[in-house]
């Protein structure tokens, strides 16, 4: 049997090993720590793990070793609190890594009052500090920020200029920024040019009249100037700039823009084709281009993006979507077609629910459940009953809103969901209760009914691991109606929860309720491990570490990619990942999410977003950049890092300081990682001592 071109490419990529530069920085290793410095650094990690600022952490701010001081500065920001003076003082430290950590930490606070101190370091002799200052100022804003950014746009270091471009676009009003960004796309460093094109794309793709991040309205003339310059970059040799051209020309209106969209739709780089597909995702717009790509482009990621976009095209796309729902063989694409049909024409989707509810793909069955919300016919009731007993928790969770939409007390209707062994299903029941509480016309009976359901979910969801996520969901939902009977007592009871993140969330919600302060006292330490555990961790992290990840798809030769662990900047996260890998936690786990041009996600044995190990860890947010091939941990809330990881498929500067980047793909990013789709499985993750540049060993069959 002859395989489609894209499939053959995958087979070739999975079979072969190559090297790709993901554009990331090599982590700068600090000098080896003395035993005393190692123990002081370990004490900082322990304080941060406890989520408490103690004497050891404060003392570390003046330690002799710069590595200890830098880690202490980051820890202050991560734990949180009123430490602006200490962080501002650290901006004057003799060590550039400490100053960079201080700049990042001040930015993490988002406090405009920090802008003046940050602006004072715009001429710092170290490029890493100036780059951190630029990124921090984009978060704080403030009167002094834009002047400092204006200076940094002329910096000698291209990494600093690129960070300044991102900050400038976020802080300057669009009429003022278009000309500057246009000039910066001229000949020069590719990082600067990409950042400037990214800024122009954000302006060009904006909706006229809406406000940009600065609060200034974007007018048609400003938007038009940005789009006009993007047209001049149509044939730029840098594919990442052509991606921004495709993004910025969203909803092409002129003949030149429509011609550009057609040209970009045949671009040799799939990232560009995906970007232009999304730019055409508007009602009744350019269905011919989308249909051509759907019929002729064999790249699975492009096809997924086309199906996603057809949902917004609306009624004219229904015939094509119905055809793909019926005839598509790939489960990932068939699921996307069903979800798009739900959006484009819910009536057709609901009529097809009976047959689709029997599909072999759990993803398709879960997508089918969405079409049944608000539908009440004899046939739909049969399908709802079938899906509520589905063997896959994703499907049972997806059908909960349809069950909750019926008549009668919600606590009774969702009794089976409350008793479900899967945390995802109980979390869905909690969300249904929250939606009832949020209804403005809800009477006392509806409110009592919803609170009763939340109490039952809470009682059923004791324990660690994913059960923590359910309890947090209950707390988030119980306050959606404001101060309703029983909520304050409910939150107060949660202050005694054994899980720190639940206690902390309860305190946060209590503080947000009108009529009274939060409960006295603190949430207590999150964990309380001996210092030697952290010393051991840091000794492990002192050796470079890498891992070989093997992935397979039925019918194809397994492929492998190599990652380098960032043990210097994220030692706890890298160590936890390595421990889970060595225990075989990831072996056999199915890739459950891929969003083209964004990320692929794995590490969830359940496949429903609730797969987790027994314990949770804190994040290690830092100034690490997010080029394509960055591996980071998903977090389910503050200090709720479990086992799920993702890899960026394109540059994602917006993720800096939001997720813990703990590894880089250093071999086979384009040949394997970029071709993975949901349903592919991780065969193994094997960690070893090395930097990831070592040749891949022979494939074991």
Q: How far apart, in whole angstroms, are the C-alpha atoms of residue 249 and residue 230?
A: 8
Q: Is 149 helix (H, G, I), strand (E, B) or coil?
A: helix
Q: Answer whether residue 185 shows pLDDT above 80.
A: yes
The pLDDT tens digits of the residues spanning 607-637 come to 888 988 988 999 999 999 999 999 999 999 8
What is residue 521's predicted lDDT score, i.e. its pLDDT?
Answer: 52
Query: What is the pTM for the complete model shown?
Result: 0.90
Q: What are phi and psi of 12, to 5 degrees?
A: -65, -45
Contact of 78 with 48, CB cutoff 8 Å: yes
The answer to whether 264 touches 272, Cβ cutoff 8 Å, is: yes
pLDDT given at position 100:
97
Q: Three-state SS across 642-662?
A: EEEEEEECCCCHHHCCCCEEE
Phi and psi based region of residue 590 (left: phi greater than 0; alpha: psi -120 to 50; beta: remaining): beta
152 touches 125 (CB < 8 A):
no
Write down the pLDDT at residue 214: 58
Question: What are 373's two structure tokens?
Answer: 């919300």
- Asked if 185 and 240 count as a contact pair (C-beta separation under 8 A), the reply is no
Q: Which helix (H) or strand (E) holds 9?
A: helix 5-15
What is the percentage of the chain residues whose pLDDT exceeds 70? 91
Number of Cα atoms under 13 Å in the Cβ half of residue 673: 31
Note whether 365 and 359 are within 8 A (CB). yes
Residue corresponding to tokens 């994220």: 570
pLDDT tens, residue by residue, 391-430: 999 999 999 999 998 878 999 999 999 999 999 999 999 9
Give the integer Cα–Cα distance in Å for 668 and 684: 16
pLDDT score recorded for residue 284: 63
Residues 336-366 as b or e (16 or more Cβ within 10 Å = b): bbbbbbbbbbbebbbebbeebbebebbbbbb
Q: Which helix (H) or strand (E) holds 492?
A: helix 487-494
CB 175 within 8 A of CB 223: no
CA-based nearest residue to 397, from 433, 425, 360, 363: 425
| Tens-digit pLDDT profile for residues 280-304 | 888 766 678 888 888 899 999 999 9
What the block records as the tokens of 422 is: 């899967």
């Amino acid at each position: 049997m002859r395989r489609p071109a894209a499939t053959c490419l995958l087979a070739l990529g999975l079979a072969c090993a190559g090297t790709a530069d993901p554009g990331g920085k090599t982590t700068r290793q600090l000098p080896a720590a003395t035993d005393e410095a190692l123990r002081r650094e370990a004490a900082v990690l322990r304080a941060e793990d406890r989520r408490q600022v103690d004497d050891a952490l404060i003392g570390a701010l003046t330690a002799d070793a710069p590595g200890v001081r830098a880690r202490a500065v980051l820890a202050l920001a991560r734990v949180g609190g009123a430490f602006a003076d200490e962080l501002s003082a650290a901006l004057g430290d003799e060590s550039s890594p400490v100053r960079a950590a201080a700049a990042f930490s001040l930015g993490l606070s988002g406090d405009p009052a920090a802008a003046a101190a940050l602006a004072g370091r715009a001429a710092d002799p170290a490029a890493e500090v100036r780059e951190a200052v630029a990124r921090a100022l984009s978060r704080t804003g403030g009167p002094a920020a834009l002047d400092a950014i204006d200076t940094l746009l002329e910096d000698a270091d291209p990494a600093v200029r690129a960070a300044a471009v991102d900050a400038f676009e976020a802080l300057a009003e669009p009429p003022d920024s278009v000309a500057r960004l246009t000039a910066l796309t001229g000949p020069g460093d590719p990082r600067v040019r990409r950042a400037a094109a990214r800024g122009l794309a954000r302006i060009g793709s904006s909706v006229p009249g809406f406000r940009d991040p600065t609060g200034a309205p974007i007018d048609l003339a400003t938007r038009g100037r940005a789009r006009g310059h993007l047209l001049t970059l149509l044939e730029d040799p840098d594919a990442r700039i052509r991606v921004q051209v495709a993004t910025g020309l969203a909803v092409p209106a002129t003949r030149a823009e429509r011609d550009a969209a057609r040209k970009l739709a045949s671009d040799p780089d799939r990232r560009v084709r995906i970007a232009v597909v999304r730019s055409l995702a508007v009602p009744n717009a350019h269905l011919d281009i989308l249909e051509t790509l759907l019929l002729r482009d064999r790249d699975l990621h492009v096809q997924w993006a086309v199906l996603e976009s057809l949902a917004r095209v609306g009624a004219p796309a229904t015939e094509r979507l119905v055809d793909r729902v019926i005839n598509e063989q790939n489960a990932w694409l068939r699921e996307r077609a069903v979800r798009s049909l739900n959006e484009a024409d819910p009536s057709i989707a609901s009529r097809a629910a009976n047959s689709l509810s029997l599909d072999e793909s759990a993803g398709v069955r879960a997508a089918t459940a969405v079409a049944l919300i608000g539908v009440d016919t004899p046939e739909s009731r049969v399908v709802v009953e079938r899906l509520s007993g589905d063997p896959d928790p994703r499907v049972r969770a997806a059908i909960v809103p349809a069950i909750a939409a019926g008549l009668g007390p919600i606590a009774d209707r969702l009794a089976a969901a409350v008793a479900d062994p899967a945390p995802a299903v109980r979390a869905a029941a909690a969300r249904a209760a929250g939606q009832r509480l949020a209804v403005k016309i809800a009477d006392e009976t509806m409110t009592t009914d919803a609170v009763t359901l939340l109490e039952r979910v809470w009682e059923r969801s004791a324990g660690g691991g994913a059960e923590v996520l359910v309890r947090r969901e209950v707390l988030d939902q119980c306050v959606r109606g404001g101060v309703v009977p029983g909520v304050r007592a409910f939150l107060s009871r949660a202050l005694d929860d054994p899980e720190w993140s639940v206690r902390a969330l309860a305190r946060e919600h209590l503080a947000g309720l009108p009529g009274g302060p939060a409960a006295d006292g603190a949430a207590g330490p999150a964990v309380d491990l001996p210092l030697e555990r952290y010393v051991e961790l840091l000794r492990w992290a002192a050796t470079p570490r890498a891992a070989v990840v093997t992935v397979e798809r039925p019918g194809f030769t397994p492929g492998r990619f190599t990652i380098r662990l960032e043990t210097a900047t994220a030692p706890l996260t890298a160590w936890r990942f390595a421990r889970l890998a060595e225990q075989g936690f990831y072996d056999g786990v199915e890739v459950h999410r891929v969003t083209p041009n964004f990320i692929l996600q794995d590490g969830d044995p359940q496949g429903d977003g609730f797969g987790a190990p027994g314990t949770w860890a804190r994040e290690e947010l830092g100034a690490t950049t997010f080029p394509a091939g960055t591996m980071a941990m998903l977090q389910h809330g503050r200090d709720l890092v479990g086992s799920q990881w993702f890899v960026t498929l394109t540059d994602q500067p917006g993720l800096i300081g939001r997720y813990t980047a703990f590894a880089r793909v250093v071999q086979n990013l384009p040949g394997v990682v970029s071709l993975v789709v949901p349903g592919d499985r991780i065969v193994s993750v094997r960690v070893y001592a090395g930097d990831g540049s070592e040749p891949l060993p022979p494939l074991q069959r």
